[in-house]
Amino acid sequence: MTQLRQLTGTYPDITVYLEGGKLFSKNNHNRRVSELMHISDNLFVLEENAQIEFFKDNTGHYSIVKIYLNDGNVFEEAKKE
């Protein structure tokens, strides 16, 4: 659970949070909530048409996400301070 807690935070388009030992994301625009389903390492299913991957910065903190859409688009976002 400690590693999951490290992934939580607010990004420009989503907020990632821990609830009941599970990781969730909330779309900051339409407020849609999705449970993140673990695939491997730091990669999760975000929704049926998207995946999210968490990356560490130079200091070793998870502060960057990449959102991969099934249509081939990729979005990178930095955690808000």
Cα→Cα distances 4→37, 60, 74, Å: 12, 15, 23
Per-residue pLDDT averaged across 24-34, rounded? Answer: 92
The predicted structure's pLDDT at residue 1: 59
Domains of the chain by start residue, with CATH: 2-78 (2.40.128.50)
pTM for this entry: 0.90
DSSP state of 60: S
**Which amino acid is located at 22 in the chain?**
K
Kindly indicate the confidence band of residue 16, based on its pLDDT and cuts at 50, 70 and 90: very high
Q: What is the mean pLDDT of the chain?
A: 93
Of 75, 61, 60, nearest to 28 by C-alpha is 75
16-49 burial: b if 16+ Cβ within 10 Å, else e: bbeeeeebbbeeeeeeeebebeeeeebebebbee
